[in-house]
Chain A
Amino acid sequence: MSSVETRLATKPADYKSDVKPIWCPGCGDYHVLMSFTRAFAQLGLPPEQIVVVSGIGCSSRIPAYTNCYGFHGVHGRSLAIAAGLKVTRPDLTVVVASGDGDGYSIGGNHFLHACRRNIDMTYVVMDNHIYGMTKGQPSPTTEPEFDTALSPGGTGVRPFHPLVVALASGANFIARCFSGEPNETADVLAEAIKHPGFSFVEILSPCVTFRPDEKAWKEQVHPASVGPTADQGKAARRLMTDDGFNIGILYRGNRAPFQPAVGASDTDLSQLEKGFEL
């Protein structure tokens, strides 16, 4: 089979489930779902070889809308679930979906250590700078002056900088995308999935209900002026100084992924349980 035929063996619709998304009309996450299915089709991955793991929030509904295996986990714990899955089943393609609240606040600690461990999986965070599902509270990436009913006048707190944190913690691939460009995002996701180790893709995905101002992102995003670097120093300068709307693959490292030998420490569970008997 030629490469073209291989690519055509699957189409994005093959990865969609019959469950209708219930996001708000205009939500960026519809495009992200599209990018997921396009990336999977582009890679020609069989749906049964992909697992989409998520936590809690609007973005975390995504596994139900795909035809792949899915795990809608607990708040902030998607990376822990995914890490366990990937080390025991390295043959599977593991993609983790999260949002800025789930991923950077409740799951912030898991984020650091998932980057550090560098397990071969792809972490996609749909960042809308707000908690959407719980109706508009400020999240770790909300601008300090953004006024909400729960934070009159803004939080006054410096926002979390996920790309810099990912780099400092050891992520092996770092990219930023915009949901309104589903093809470009699909291309980046496909690259992220192919890249060995922990790949982190932040997707700016507007919340049209609680952050209608984010519709302007369409005009603010711009392609990264230079290609990805493998130099952490250069990447750090680049990520620290960019305007937050720089789109593309920004860092592509070459650290070997962490993968313990499967089966090396297999132990009969009943024997283990005996050790805890009173």
Chain B
Amino acid sequence: MTKTPGTPKVASLNDLLSVAYQIEIDAVERYNLLADQMETHNNPELVKVFRDLARAEGIHGEEIRRLAGDFDVVTRARQIANFERGESPEEAELGSAHYMMTPWHALQLSLAGEKRALAYFTSIVETAKDPKVKTMAAELVEEEAEHVNLVHRLLRRYPKPSVTWADDMDPPVSQE
């Protein structure tokens, strides 16, 4: 059973902004949860990566909120941003976390999320009838495409780790 982007009904520009806002906020919450996990398991490098990602998504969320002006995207998002299967598109896969994961792994999670968001907004561009919704969705597609490129650029700094990345000299199995 693979995770697929959900399809909340977007009937207006405000609906679209509300859903887009919720997507960013969900991503913030997820990255912070992962950062907390890494804090607990003493992986400070990953704490920083996840906190940075959370901060970046939070900034996007606030930008979307500003775009909505006086409209209450928080309340509207709560009403309509119900994704069909599991979670909103940009939320990183919780099940893929590992206490010894590296920045490369974190960025792979981020890349997958950005791609899901890109697919979601692309589907809105393709199906929206309201020209305002279509235009804004196209802008969001552009933004998500830029995020995908950004993550690719960041990945150049962190090459894929060797296959032994999860080898622990002091493994949790104590029964040996």
Report A's interface with B, CB cutoff 8 A.
4, 8, 11, 20-26, 28, 30-31, 135-137, 148-150, 178, 180-184, 206, 208-210, 215, 218-219, 221-222
Assess the A137–B78 pair: CB atoms within 8 A.
no
- The answer to the question of B33 belonging to the interface, with a C-beta cut-off of 8 Å to chain A, is yes
Offer 10 A-B interface pairs, CB within 8 angstroms, sorted by A.
A24-B99, A25-B37, A26-B97, A136-B173, A149-B175, A181-B85, A181-B86, A182-B86, A183-B83, A184-B85
Assess the A183–B85 pair: CB atoms within 8 A.
yes
Assess the B1–A31 pair: CB atoms within 8 A.
no
Assess the A25–B175 pair: CB atoms within 8 A.
no
Q: Shortest Cβ distance from B161 into chain A, in angstroms?
A: 16
Assess the B95–A28 pair: CB atoms within 8 A.
yes
- The answer to the question of B52 belonging to the interface, with a C-beta cut-off of 8 Å to chain A, is no
Assess the B95–A206 pair: CB atoms within 8 A.
yes
**Given known A-B contacts A25-B37, A182-B87, A31 and B95 have beta carbons under 8 A apart:** yes
Known contacts A26-B96, A181-B86, A184-B85; 9 additional CB pairs below 8 A are A4-B79, A21-B37, A25-B38, A25-B41, A25-B101, A31-B94, A137-B175, A149-B173, A180-B86
**B43, closest chain A residue (CB):** A25
Q: Shortest Cβ distance from B72 into chain A, in angstroms?
A: 13
A23 CA / B33 CA spacing, docked (Å): 11
Taking CB atoms, residues of chain A closer than 8 Å to B70 are none
Taking CB atoms, residues of chain A closer than 8 Å to B69 are none
Q: Which secondary structure dominates chain B's binding surface?
A: loop
Residue among B84, B101, B176 having the largest count of chain A Cβ atoms under 10 Å: B176
Q: Shortest Cβ distance from B150 into chain A, in angstroms?
A: 24
Assess the B99–A25 pair: CB atoms within 8 A.
yes
**Given known A-B contacts A25-B41, A183-B86, A218-B95, A148 and B1 have beta carbons under 8 A apart:** no
A182 CA / B88 CA spacing, docked (Å): 12
B42-66 interface code vs A (CB 8 A; 1 in, 0 out):
0000000000000000000000000
Q: Shortest Cβ distance from B98 into chain A, in angstroms?
A: 6
Taking CB atoms, residues of chain B closer than 8 Å to A136 are 173, 175
Assess the B173–A180 pair: CB atoms within 8 A.
no
Taking CB atoms, residues of chain A closer than 8 Å to B127 are none
Assess the B86–A25 pair: CB atoms within 8 A.
no
A223 CA / B170 CA spacing, docked (Å): 39
Taking CB atoms, residues of chain A closer than 8 Å to B162 are none
A218 CA / B2 CA spacing, docked (Å): 8
**Given known A-B contacts A24-B99, A180-B95, A30 and B33 have beta carbons under 8 A apart:** yes
Taking CB atoms, residues of chain B closer than 8 Å to A219 are 1
Assess the A8–B79 pair: CB atoms within 8 A.
yes
Q: Shortest Cβ distance from A109 into chain B, in angstroms?
A: 27
A20 CA / B86 CA spacing, docked (Å): 22
A149 CA / B38 CA spacing, docked (Å): 28
**B96, closest chain A residue (CB):** A26
Taking CB atoms, residues of chain A closer than 8 Å to B34 are 25
**B6, closest chain A residue (CB):** A183
- The answer to the question of B174 belonging to the interface, with a C-beta cut-off of 8 Å to chain A, is yes
Assess the B174–A135 pair: CB atoms within 8 A.
yes
A148 CA / B1 CA spacing, docked (Å): 29
**Given known A-B contacts A8-B79, A25-B41, A181-B1, A209 and B95 have beta carbons under 8 A apart:** no
Taking CB atoms, residues of chain A closer than 8 Å to B38 are 25
A137 CA / B174 CA spacing, docked (Å): 10
Taking CB atoms, residues of chain B closer than 8 Å to A135 are 172-175
